[in-house]
Structure 1
Amino acid sequence: MFAPGWEKDLFAVLPSTNPSDFTDVARRHHRNAPHTRVIAATLEGLLHFEFGAGDAGAESRARELLGWAAVQPSTEPIQRFTGTYLVHRTWPVEIVPGVTAELRLQDDVVRLAAAELHQRAGDLDAAIWTVEQALPTAHAALSLIDLYSCAERHQEVIDLTNGITNSDDATALLLALRGRAFAHQGFYDAARESFSQALRVRSRSTAVRHRALVERVQVDFAQNRKAAARKGLEKILAEDPTYPGLTDALSSLQ
């Protein structure tokens, strides 16, 4: 009853799936309550992010809004509003292929979602910088290691994955990325050991196991072990004939 106007208006549009509702609230209150713009941009950006996958326009708008929101200071009114009305709200973020997490605002969903959008757009530098500013959580670490791997920063991948054991999908994927890093540095035996650890538990997700198999096949190719490469590719073929690049890889073995 006694909440300020900006808070009442933002609260009223929380269930909305119309992006313009958040824009309207921001325009209405940005002069007397500038923090309204940050909250509205965050919510609109996350709305585009969650429901606009595959839509270039929606992803571009989400990237713009979340990239901006991620670098804004978290003021007391923002903390109070999100802590009161959004403390349990979550958004799905694919940290890496095969590992999706339901994240809250306090889990740094804004930065991790923005980083994913930067990566989709091909801006690895922006994605890496964004995750490096995130809270040091397990999800942020996984995202950062995957980005380092994509950027060919192999020694950093190795350094960050020392001591990792296969305890879940995320750590199995980290072992696969560790093996990839060793392989790119020419340490094939160390790479195979990491792949063996990644594939040791068969209950890991299909996406994670296939990524580990694909990376191991690259080592087989590098060492001219065609029979082993074919065996790895055929394992993937039996489970997912549409796996990207699988047909070309099998053809190269002919």
Structure 2
Amino acid sequence: MVSLLEATLVSLPAGDTQRGLELLTWLFGTGYDPATDDFIQKYLPDASFTLPIADGITVQLPPDRNLIGLLLAELYQETGDIPAAVDVVEQLEPSTVTAVSLAELYTQQGRWNDVVDLTEGLTNEDEAATFLLTQRGIAFREQGYFEAARASFKESLRIRSRPADLRHRTLIERGLTYLREGKRSMARKDFEKVLAENSSYPGLREHLADLQD
């Protein structure tokens, strides 16, 4: 319990990645679960932690084993050890939150079949599903299944009230898919939708410049 509090309240806020790794690796390895800790349940019953688990997705999590694992995976990802991050998240209880983390990690590894399997049967029920559908579209595109990719992107964009960052990412990825198909005018349309709302979106100017070649 002390190690968890040190990691979440001291090391991580201070940016001490190495100490955070040491503490969380030890906690995860011991099988410690804060949800069964009498002290935490008595004195911190309503505690929650804010955790960004992927671009555009931030969640509030109670102190439990999944929190420890996801925090540890984020630190591994930060240090570039993607295989270690995947190994940790794959040991956690399956949930939408862990699926988001895994989808991002699998995408970084180019494990397209795993992304497709992970996102099978999804509909756009919440922000996490929006993110996962975009990852599914990317996976299909990278496998050369452009129609399937566009279907996933369409479902990801179906709910217009989703956060702008998520919509913009999907539009960019769909635009890149159109480019791979040689549909430059459709790609421009998606890129310019993002341009109209956020002209400083990372990489957007480069994508638009590519259309001039």
SS class of match (1:133)? coil
Equivalent residue, structure 1, for 2:64: 106
Quickly say closer, same or farther: Cα 1:174–1:96, change in 2 above 3 A: same
Find the partner of 1:221 among 173, 179, 188: 179
Question: Structure 1 residues 162, 248: closer, same or farther in 2, change over 3 A?
Answer: same
**Alpha-carbon shift at residue 63 of structure 1 (Å):** 2.7
Equivalent-residue separation in structure 1 for 2:23 and 2:65 (angstroms): 18
Task: Report the Cα distance in structure 2 between the residues aligned to 1:120 and 1:221, rounded to whole angstroms.
Answer: 31
In structure 2, C-alpha distance between the alignment counterparts of 1:191 and 1:49, rounded to whole Å: 41
* Number of corresponding residues: 211
**SS of residue in 1 equivalent to 2:185:** helix
* In structure 2, C-alpha distance between the alignment counterparts of 1:96 and 1:75, rounded to whole Å: 23
Is the Cα–Cα contact under 8 Å of residues 155 and 181 in structure 1 kept in the other structure?
Answer: yes
CA–CA distance in structure 1, aligned partners of residues 103 and 65 of structure 2: 18
> Residue 61 of structure 1 aligns with which residue?
19
User: Helix, strand or coil: the match of 2:47?
Assistant: coil
Show the 5 A alignment for 1:1-254.
39-48=1-10, 51-52=13-14, 55=15, 58-74=16-32, 79-106=37-64, 108-254=66-212
Contact 1:48 1:61 in 2 (8 A): no
- Per the alignment, do residues 239 and 75 of structure 1 end up closer, same or farther by CA in structure 2, a change over 3 Å counting? closer
Deviation at 1:64, TM superposition (A): 2.8
Give deviations 1:83-104, integer Å, cap 9, x for gaps.
2223321111112111111111
Q: Deviations over 1:104-138 (max 9, x none)?
A: 11262111111112112211111111111112222
4+ residue runs of structure 1 moved beyond 4 angstroms? Answer: none
Letter in 1 for 2:142: H
Offset at residue 49 of structure 1 (A):
6.2
Change (3 A) 1:217 1:116: same
Aligned 8 A contact 2:48 2:62 in 1: yes
Q: For 2:173, what is the secondary structure of its paired residue? A: helix
5+ residue gaps in structure 1? 1-38
Alpha-carbon displacement from aligned partner over 1:159-201 (angstroms, at most 9, x marks no partner): 1211100111111111111111111110000001111111111
Inter-partner Cα distance in structure 2 for 1:236 and 1:102 = 28
- Quick one: distance in 2 between partners of 1:74 and 1:237? 47
TM-score by length of 1: 0.77
Please, which runs of 5 or more residues in structure 2 have no aligned partner? none
* Normalised TM-score (structure 2): 0.91
Aligned-residue offset at 1:61? 2.5
Return the alpha-carbon distance in structure 1 between the equivalents of residues 21 and 196 of structure 2.
Answer: 37
Cα distance, 1:48 vs structure 2: 4.3
Between the two proteins, what is the percent identity of the paired residues? 39
Question: What RMSD over aligned residues (CA atoms) do the two structures have, in Å?
Answer: 1.9
Aligned to 1:32: none
